[in-house]
Amino acid sequence: MKRFFVMVALGLAPVIAMAQAASSRVLTPAEAQSFAMLATAKEKAARDRLKTLSKEQIYAELQHNLSDVTKIIYQPGFGVYVEYTAADGQDRMWFPGNTRAVRGLWGVRDRNGAARVCFHYFKSTNVVTGEFESTECSPPEQTLSDGIVIEKRHGDVFNLLSDHIPYRKAAFEVPAWP
């Protein structure tokens, strides 16, 4: 029942949300557009909230948000992917079309006086541009809003630290939780 309410809050069709428990599904273009618009609003709310927090509180919240968490993420231009961020700073992504997990590291860093979550990938090529992207840093509001997160759970749910992925998935396929 909780999944139903989460999906409704994200603007995803309830019937599809109920079916997700049984198998993976495809995110429709209309759902993707609604989700992207909701992400913008969630980031703005997080940005406003961050103004009330100290630097130490922001660092602590970022660590908590990413430690030992698996997220199913939708990002325009990339599609749907799964990311596991371990408490020890390891990172694994199950990216569309890949046959193995993308290995990397994550951490909270100070960039120009502000907290940023930075990800470093060892062998990662942007599927849109074809360029190698080794390091990416995101503003705290992107992480703390969970704006691009479809759903998340604690732990390495898909066992991505093994460097294996459950199967080769399509760009808009939303995998079912095991």
Tell me the domain boundaries of the chain.
2-174
DSSP string, 94-132: E-TT-SSPEEEEEEEEEETTEEEEEEEESS-B-TTT--B
Average pLDDT over residues 112-123: 88
User: What pLDDT does 77 receive?
Assistant: 83
Pick from 156, 31, 137: nearest CA to 88: 156
Mean pLDDT of 1-26: 46
Question: How far is the CA of 159 from the CAs of 23, 25, 49, 82, 156, in angstroms?
Answer: 18, 20, 33, 11, 5
Angle at 105 between CA 160 and CA 111, to 5 degrees: 145
Confidence check: pLDDT of 60 > 70: yes
Distance CA 97, CA 2 (A): 30
Distance of CA 75 to the CA centre of its chain: 8
| Identity of the amino acid at 93 | M
Helices (H), the chain: 2-9, 14-20, 29-50, 55-66, 140-145
The neighbouring-strand residues paired with 72 are 82, 151
Give the pLDDT confidence score for residue 16 in this predicted structure: 36
Residue among 140, 117, 126, 119 at smallest CA distance from 75: 126
- What is the spatial distance between Cα 68 and Cα 32, in angstroms, rounded to a whole number? 26
Mean of the per-residue pLDDT values for the chain? 84
